[in-house]
């Protein structure tokens, strides 16, 4: 078995939600592997800071582009994709990381319609619009692949997270259904991580960090590795998969042994 990381030389990787957390880690790892990352976020300043930090490193691909765009807005996403294609000529891989957790801790009867709609707008409609506008470019690429960052919340649940859990289940089935529609042209997969140490989880769990907690926590770079494996030609036979990375938690039976 080879241990060298997949080579992404010459490949353009568009990452949504790349100003922070998992998206920033994916963009950084893609750049380390020779790709040109496009860091898309509605926090344009944050995306620009991440891209500048990448450009200041001695990267094999040498380039990193930041784009301010809102994944819930079709006009914004159409022009973000057009501008990427004008500047770089191609998009080979798309990673959808933009996401919000919504009203964590609220029981369903206390969730406002506006909060419910916002969670679905970013997590589900955002992934749909990102893919809708990048699929023509992905179809033209020899590497065409997309990885949607869902969550273990697509499969298991904690109280007070109904909108988020429902939205992430929709993301998994979006990936599976699209993988069937694009079979032979673009590989589409999803990842379903448990807690990852990012600003989102720190905010939701009201923690400054995860030192000393009695549950396992991923680093953003761990998820970036999983995502870029699924996006790479090494995962050529993997279509429509939802890779659960939860330290084996959901595999545990209720049997008391
Ligand atoms: N942190 C975890 O424990 C965890 C676990 C499983 C899955 N996830 C998922 O991973 C993804 C990344 O989350 P993270 O933990 O890195 O969070 P994060 O808050 O650090 O990053 C999310 C990014 O998405 C961007 N974003 C939000 N709304 C946007 C919009 N409308 N348009 C463009 N960009 C937008 C934010 O500006 C931010 O940069 C999310 O989809 C999240 O649901 C996170």
Q: Which of 121, 128, 170 is nearest to 150 (CA)?
A: 170
Q: Could you say which DSSP state residue 5 is in?
A: P
- For residue 195, which atom of ligand 1 is closest to its CA? 3
If you take atom 20 of ligand 1, which residue's CA is the nearest one? 21
Ligand 1 pocket test: pick from 96, 97, 245 the residue with the most ligand atoms within 8 Å of its Cβ. Answer: 97
Ligand 1 pocket test: pick from 15, 16, 17 the residue with the most ligand atoms within 8 Å of its Cβ. Answer: 17
Distance 253 CA to ligand 1 centre (A): 30
Angstrom CA distances, 207 to 17, 19, 175, 200, stand at 21, 20, 31, 10
pLDDT along the chain (257 residues), means of 10: 72 98 98 96 98 89 92 98 98 98 96 98 99 98 96 97 98 98 97 98 96 97 98 96 97 93
Structure tokens at 79: 């022009």
Structure tokens at 136: 């023509």
**Coil, helix or strand at residue 84:** helix
Residue with tokens 């996403």: 77
Distance 16 CA to ligand 1 centre (A): 9
Q: Does domain 12-248 have CATH number 3.40.50.720?
A: yes
Q: Could you say which DSSP state residue 207 is in?
A: -
Q: Is 72 in the pocket of ligand 1 (CB under 6 A)?
A: yes
Domain boundaries, the chain: 12-248
* pLDDT for position 129: 99
Q: Are 71 and 122 in contact (CB under 8 A)?
A: yes
* pLDDT for position 62: 74
* pLDDT for position 6: 67
In the chain, which residue ranges form alpha helices assigned H by DSSP? Answer: 21-32, 44-55, 74-88, 113-120, 126-140, 162-181, 199-204, 220-231
Distance 59 CA to ligand 1 centre (A): 25
Q: Which of 167, 150, 159, 174 is nearest to 227 (CA)?
A: 150
Query: Among all residues, which ones are annotated catalytic?
Result: 164
Q: Is 77 in the pocket of ligand 1 (CB under 6 A)?
A: no
Q: Which of 55, 58, 60, 59 is nearest to 39 (CA)?
A: 55
**Burial per residue of 63-93, b for 16 or more beta-carbon CB atoms within 10 angstroms, e otherwise:** bbbbbbbbbbbeebbeebbeebbeebeebbb
């Amino acid at each position: 078995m080879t241990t060298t990381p997949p080579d992404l030389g010459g490949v353009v990787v568009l990452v949504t939600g790349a100003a922070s957390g998992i998206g920033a880690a994916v963009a950084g790892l893609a750049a380390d592997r020779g790709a040109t990352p496009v860091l898309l976020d509605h926090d344009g300043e944050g995306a620009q800071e991440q891209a500048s930090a990448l450009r200041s490193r001695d990267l094999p691909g040498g380039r990193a582009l930041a784009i301010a765009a809102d994944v819930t807005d079709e006009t914004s996403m159409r022009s973000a994709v057009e501008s990427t294609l004008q500047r770089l000529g191609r998009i080979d891989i798309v990673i959808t990381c933009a996401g919000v957790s919504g009203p964590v801790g609220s029981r369903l009867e206390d969730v406002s319609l506006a909060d419910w709609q916002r969670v679905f707008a970013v997590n589900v409609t955002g992934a749909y619009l990102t893919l809708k506008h990048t699929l023509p470019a992905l179809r033209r690429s020899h590497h065409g692949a997309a990885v949607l960052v869902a969550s273990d919340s697509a499969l298991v649940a904690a109280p007070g997270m109904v909108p988020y859990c429902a939205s992430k289940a929709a993301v998994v089935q979006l990936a599976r259904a699209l993988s069937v529609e694009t079979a032979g042209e673009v590989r589409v997969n999803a990842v379903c991580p448990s807690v990852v140490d990012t600003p989102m989880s720190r905010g939701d769990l009201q923690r400054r960090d995860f030192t000393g907690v009695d549950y396992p926590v991923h680093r953003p770079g761990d998820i970036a590795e999983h995502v870029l494996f699924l996006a790479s030609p090494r995962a050529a036979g993997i279509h429509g998969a939802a890779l659960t990375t939860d330290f084996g938690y959901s595999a545990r039976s209720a049997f008391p042994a």
